[in-house]
Amino acid sequence: MHITRRETFNAAHRLFRPEWNDEKNLEVFGKCSNPNWHGHNYTLYVTVEGKVSDETGFVLNLKMLSKIIDAFVLQKLDHKNINTEVDFMQGKLASTENLAIGIWKQLDQPIKELGARLHRIKLEETEKNYVEYYG
Ligand code: NI
Using the mean position of ligand 1's atoms as its centre, give its distance from the Cα of residue 24 in Å.
16
Rounded Cα distance between 70 and 122, Å, is: 16
- Cβ atoms of 59 and 52 within 8 Å: the answer is yes
Of 87, 85, 9, nearest to 44 (Cα)?
Answer: 9
Using the mean position of ligand 1's atoms as its centre, give its distance from the Cα of residue 21 in Å.
18
The whole-model pTM stands at 0.95
pLDDT tens-place string over residues 81-125: 999 999 999 999 999 999 999 999 999 999 999 989 999 999 999
Among all residues, which ones are annotated catalytic?
A: 32, 79, 125
